[in-house]
């Protein structure tokens, strides 16, 4: 029995080691490569070049702003929808869940061509102006972020007794906006943040839609361009974007831990 | 006209009748319980009073105002839920003050009411705690205070004690009654627990399959049930097959033994008449002027205050409850038993 347990522990560590290597090795290699911009010396020259490139900041800021609006629209669209489905239309939940998964199935290229085809002509003419294209970009990203945002919010709603909380608030005289903004939204804070960070991570690195709608203005196409022309800078950009994504994930974990701590305290 | 009037109210969910022709007049300050098994329509009726469900037909009039189609947030009706439904993002004080804040009551007035409510539920020291930091009983007290803070016209409680353990349930039940009497608030209480209904209510509405079976005081419901359902749902009841029933003189035969029964109230009897008698009406031994039946003890259960026996009389098993006494000699399984009961304690169904 003890022998079997020891063996099982050994194999657990073994597979964990292999898994870690699988992730760490390419990352370490990329990182080391990014430090070799100066001949025979390890330096952060590639990083310095990236951070001093005005296009890096311009595209990064642009994608951040697009990410902010994508999150805002996603929240305003998804939270009331998911809430209403939980409250009044639970039978539709499966279908809505399926619809929100479609961005995983439909390639981004199909989505962007569809959008251009529909919204470039009458009566929209959205692609004729910069503002219009930016609106279209946000709209496309809202669709792309649907699986992350809907699943996060829906899981958050599943963790609270939506119906009882709504009815309690109603019986105390609260209107629908009061219920949404004072009862539902505050209790979904962690779920919304989780969805928001995943959305931001997706928007920051997205290439296909951004290329066809706004070109080099966005961070995704900028990274691709650097990758084609500047070898060391491309590696440093990979590490930067990796760190950015992992910081978002870390923040999600941080907020989730806060929440599970309170839940544990509540169980006692 | 009474304070709360529910007239001819029915509710049909997709062809299934949940509540059928419900009629009730409630006086101001009365404590009414809706009692019945799961799915009998008691919660649906309560939700129609609260406005969470719309009746298919009929109307609800509160304080001379027809509220049948009014939205829940305009009714000024307090509700306490089985799951407490406290807002997790708010402290105890914020939960209690929520209804007043929604009504845009001045801050100092909210503070005074919250303080008063905290005193009423004896949780003054917990004002700044969050719901997850309280026990189930404390959370339900806060839910009660929150519902009362808005000074509702009617207080509705939907199985508020079901999620609590037995001891807390009894304590909180007394607390609810104390607060209700102190505030004189008209209260509708939904429960499937007969003890709760009997101990709390001025009147009880017993429901089954969407219909009202009987409305009456706890004593009327227990001692003079009008239907077989009420008789068997509220308390324990023996239903013993009898023959040669003489309704006029109040006599019948139970396993060949002559039994007299109460025939003062006119009753309808079924094709297969049965003698109804509660287990606690029996006594052991012979007694003059009482019905006597003979049998054998088949089961003995010691329950503390009560000793429950199953006595076989021919083909039927009779439940007999004896009050425990310190020096009581317990009957043994297989013992021959003679039990007696007064004629006025049994009736024919």
Rounded Cα distance, A20 and A29, in Å: 14
Q: In this model, does residue A60 exceed pLDDT 50?
A: yes
Region B100-117 average pLDDT: 93
CB of A167 within 8 Å of any CB in chain B? yes
Element (H, E) at A186: helix A185-187
Q: In this model, does residue A261 exceed pLDDT 90?
A: no
Residue B70 banded pLDDT, cuts 50, 70, 90:
very high
Between the ranges B93-102, B177-186, B295-304, where is the mean pLDDT highest? B93-102
User: What pLDDT is attached to residue A268?
Assistant: 35
C-beta of residue B346 within 8 angstroms of C-beta of residue B311: no
C-beta of residue A112 within 8 angstroms of C-beta of residue A212: yes
Rounded Cα distance, B272 and B256, in Å: 16
**Which runs of consecutive H residues, i.e. helices, occur in chain B?**
42-50, 92-102, 107-120, 136-149, 166-183, 194-200, 218-223, 228-233
Out of A167, A173, A189, the one facing B102 most closely (by C-beta) is A173
User: What pLDDT is attached to residue A83?
Assistant: 94
State the total domains in chain A: 1
Residues of chain B contacting residue A168, judged by C-beta atoms under 8 Å apart: 79, 81, 85-87, 143, 146
Residues of chain B contacting residue A174, judged by C-beta atoms under 8 Å apart: 73, 98, 102
Residue B232 banded pLDDT, cuts 50, 70, 90:
confident
Residue A259 banded pLDDT, cuts 50, 70, 90:
low
Number of other CB atoms surrounding residue B143 within 10 Å: 26
- Is A177 inside any structural domain? yes
Backbone angles phi, psi at A39, to 5 degrees: -60, 130
- Is A204 inside any structural domain? yes
DSSP B45: H
Q: Is A104 exposed, middle or buried (0-12, 13-18, 19+ CB in 10 A)?
A: exposed
- Is A243 inside any structural domain? yes
Region B35-52 average pLDDT: 94
B197 vs chain A: nearest CA distance in angstroms? 23
Q: Choose, out of B81, B133, B150, the residue to mutate when testing the contact with A (most A CBs < 10 Å).
A: B81
Compute the C-alpha angle B264/B267/B270, nearest 5°.
140
Out of B81, B103, B132, the one facing A168 most closely (by C-beta) is B81
- Is A6 inside any structural domain? no
CB of B38 within 8 Å of any CB in chain A? no
Q: Is B296 exposed, middle or buried (0-12, 13-18, 19+ CB in 10 A)?
A: middle
CB of A161 within 8 Å of any CB in chain B? yes
User: Between residues 273 and 302 of chain B, which touch chain A (CB distance below 8 Å)?
Assistant: none
CB of A265 within 8 Å of any CB in chain B? yes
Rounded Cα distance, B193 and A51, in Å: 71
- Is A14 inside any structural domain? no
Residue A256 banded pLDDT, cuts 50, 70, 90:
low
Rounded Cα distance, B115 and B123, in Å: 10
- Is A29 inside any structural domain? no
Which residues on neighbouring strands pair with residue B291, listed in sequence order? Answer: B341
Top pLDDT among A251 and A86 is at A86
Q: In this model, does residue A265 exceed pLDDT 60?
A: no
- Give the range of the structural domain holding residue A213, as residue numbers without chain letter: 55-256
User: What pLDDT is attached to residue A205?
Assistant: 85
Residues A107-116: b if buried by 16+ CB within 10 A, e if exposed: ebeebbeebb
Out of B52, B83, B146, the one facing A172 most closely (by C-beta) is B146
| Beta-carbon separation of A171 and B74 below 8 A | no
Q: Residue written as tokens 């939700």?
A: B47
B91 vs chain A: nearest CA distance in angstroms? 13
Q: In this model, does residue B323 exceed pLDDT 70?
A: yes
Number of helices (H) and strands (E), helices first, in chain B? 8, 21
CA atoms within a 13 Å half-sphere pointing along the CA-CB vector of B89: 16
Q: In this model, does residue A226 exceed pLDDT 70?
A: yes
Per the prediction, chain A carries an average pLDDT of 88
**Residue B96: closest CA among chain A residues belongs to which residue?**
A172
With a CB cutoff of 8 Å and minimum separation 6, the contacts of A226 are A50, A233, A234, A237
**CATH, residue A193:** 1.10.3720.10
- Is A34 inside any structural domain? no
B103 vs chain A: nearest CA distance in angstroms? 7
Out of B71, B74, B85, the one facing A168 most closely (by C-beta) is B85
Taking chain B, what is the end-to-end CA distance rounded to the nearest angstrom? Answer: 36
Out of A161, A171, A187, the one facing B72 most closely (by C-beta) is A171
Tell me: cis bond preceding A123? Omega within 30 of 0 counts. Answer: yes
Task: Give the tens place of pLDDT for each residue, A105-136.
Answer: 889 999 999 989 888 888 878 778 888 899 99
* Nearest alpha-carbon partner for A179 in A196, A160, A154: A160
User: What pLDDT is attached to residue B9?
Assistant: 95
Written as six digits, the tokens of A108 are: 């981004």
Q: In this model, does residue A264 exceed pLDDT 50?
A: no
Q: In this model, does residue A143 exceed pLDDT 90?
A: yes
Top pLDDT among A225 and A125 is at A225
Residues of chain B contacting residue A191, judged by C-beta atoms under 8 Å apart: none
Compute the C-alpha angle B138/B140/B141, nearest 5°.
65
User: What pLDDT is attached to residue B105?
Assistant: 93
CB of B172 within 8 Å of any CB in chain A? no
Residue A81 banded pLDDT, cuts 50, 70, 90:
very high
> What percent of chain B lies above the pLDDT cut of 70?
99
- Is A16 inside any structural domain? no
């Amino acid at each position: 029995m003890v022998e079997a347990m020891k063996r099982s522990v050994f194999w657990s560590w073994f597979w964990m080691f292999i898994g870690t290597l699988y992730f760490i090795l390419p990352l370490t290699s990329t990182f080391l490569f990014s430090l070799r911009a100066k001949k025979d010396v390890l330096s952060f020259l590639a990083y310095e070049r990236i951070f001093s490139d005005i296009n890096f900041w311009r595209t990064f800021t642009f994608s951040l702003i697009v990410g902010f609006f994508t999150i805002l629209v996603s929240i305003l669209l998804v939270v009331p929808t998911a809430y209403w489905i939980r409250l009044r239309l639970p039978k539709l939940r499966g279908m809505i869940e399926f619809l929100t998964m479609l961005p995983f199935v439909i390639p981004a290229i199909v989505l962007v061509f569809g959008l251009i085809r529909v919204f470039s002509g009458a009566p929209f003419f959205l692609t004729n102006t910069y503002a219009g294209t930016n609106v279209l970009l946000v709209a496309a990203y809202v669709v792309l972020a649907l699986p992350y945002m809907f699943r996060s919010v829906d899981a958050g709603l599943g963790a609270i007794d939506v119906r009882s909380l709504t009815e309690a608030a109603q019986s105390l005289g609260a209107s629908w906006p009061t219920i949404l903004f004072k009862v539902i939204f505050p209790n979904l804070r962690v779920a919304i943040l989780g969805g928001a960070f995943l959305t931001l991570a997706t928007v920051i690195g997205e290439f296909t839609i951004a290329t066809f709608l706004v070109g080099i203005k966005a961070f995704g196409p900028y990274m691709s361009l650097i990758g084609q022309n500047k070898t060391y800078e491309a590696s440093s950009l990979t590490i930067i974007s990796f760190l950015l994504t992992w910081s978002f994930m870390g923040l999600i974990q941080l907020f989730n831990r806060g929440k599970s701590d309170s839940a544990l305290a509540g169980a006692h | 006209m009474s304070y709360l009037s529910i007239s001819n109210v029915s509710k049909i969910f997709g062809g299934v009748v949940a509540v059928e022709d419900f009629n009730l007049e409630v006086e101001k300050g009365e404590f009414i319980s809706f009692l019945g098994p799961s799915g009998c329509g008691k919660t649906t009726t309560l939700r129609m009073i609260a406005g969470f469900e719309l009746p298919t037909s009929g109307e609800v009039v509160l304080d001379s105002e027809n509220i049948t189609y009014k939205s829940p947030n305009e009714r000024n009706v307090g509700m306490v839920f089985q799951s407490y439904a406290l807002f997790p993002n708010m402290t105890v004080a914020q939960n209690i003050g929520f209804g007043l804040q929604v009504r845009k009551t001045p801050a100092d007035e909210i503070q005074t009411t919250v303080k008063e409510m905290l005193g009423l539920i004896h949780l003054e020291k917990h004002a700044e705690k969050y719901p997850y930091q309280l026990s189930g009983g404390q959370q339900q007290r806060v839910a009660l205070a929150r519902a009362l803070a808005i000074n509702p016209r009617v207080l509705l409680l939907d199985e508020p004690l079901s999620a609590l353990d037995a001891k807390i349930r009894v304590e909180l039940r007394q607390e609810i009654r104390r607060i209700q009497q102190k505030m004189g608030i008209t209260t509708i209480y939904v429960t499937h627990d007969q003890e709760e209904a009997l101990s709390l209510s001025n009147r009880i509405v017993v429901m089954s399959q969407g219909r009202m079976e009987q409305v009456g005081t706890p004593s009327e419901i227990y001692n003079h049930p009008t239907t077989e359902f009420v008789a068997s749902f509220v308390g324990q009841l023996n239903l013993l097959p009898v023959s040669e029933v003489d309704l006029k003189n109040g006599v019948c035969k139970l396993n060949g033994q002559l039994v007299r029964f109460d025939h003062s109230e006119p009753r309808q009897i079924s094709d297969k008449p049965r003698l109804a008698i509660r287990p606690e009406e029996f006594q052991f031994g012979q007694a003059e002027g009482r019905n006597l039946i003979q049998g054998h003890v088949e089961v003995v259960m010691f329950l503390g205050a009560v000793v429950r026996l199953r006595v076989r009389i021919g083909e039927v098993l009779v439940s007999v409850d004896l009050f425990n006494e310190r020096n009581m000699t317990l009957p043994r399984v297989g013992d021959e038993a003679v039990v007696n009961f007064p004629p006025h304690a049994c009736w024919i169904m």
